[in-house]
Amino acid sequence: MQAAGHGITWRAARVKLMALGAWLQRIFVQSSRVHICQDVAATPGDLVDLIDRFIDGPMRYPLEWDDFISWEQANPNVEAARREIGKHEEWLFSRDSSKISAYSFRVVEQRNRLAAIVGRPQRPLPTLNATEQALIGAAE
């Protein structure tokens, strides 16, 4: 069946609209001005993979970590990890390297907790100096 007077089938029109929608979604996922949040960690295994990408790179898209840390997650294990990691997110943006190291330690701690749940290997925890250990201790 063709759309009235346009020489294009409904199926072809639908395919073109779906392609346009996919193109717009790609733009909004990567836009720094308008952004569509992606579901990046639906399961503990997904979060282990996300944390590994966060540590080792590359991320799938520039705001992937932000999509995880900024939005509540449906899975209770993933949400618990997100909340724990989010408690100290400001450390990630600090100019103090001790805070950045302490944040990395917390992220790997949560990663390893989830890895144990899903039967994945543990990552070695970063070695902390006395200042970094004090930050971790004070945060508990």
Does residue 130 come out as left (phi exceeding 0), alpha (psi in the -120 to 50 range) or beta? alpha
Q: Which has more pLDDT, 107 or 14?
A: 107
Q: Is the pLDDT of residue 123 over 90?
A: yes
Nearest alpha carbon to residue 41 among 119, 114, 125, 124:
114
The whole-number pLDDT of residue 112 equals 96
Cα–Cα distance between 6 and 96 in angstroms, integer?
Answer: 63
Chain-centre distance for alpha carbon 62: 10
Least confident segment among 17-21, 47-51, 89-93, 133-137: 17-21
**Do 125 and 109 meet the contact criterion of CB atoms below 8 Å apart?**
yes
Q: What gap in Å lies between CA 6 and CA 85, rounded to an integer?
A: 55
- What pTM value is reported for the model? 0.72
**CA 68 from chain center: how many Å?**
4
126 phi/psi in degrees, rounded to 5: -60, 145
| pLDDT beyond 60 at 34 | no
Q: For the ranges 37-51, 88-102, 103-117, which has the lowest average pLDDT?
A: 37-51
Res. 135: pLDDT tops 80? yes
Q: Give the separation between CA 101 and CA 104, rounded to whole angstroms.
A: 5
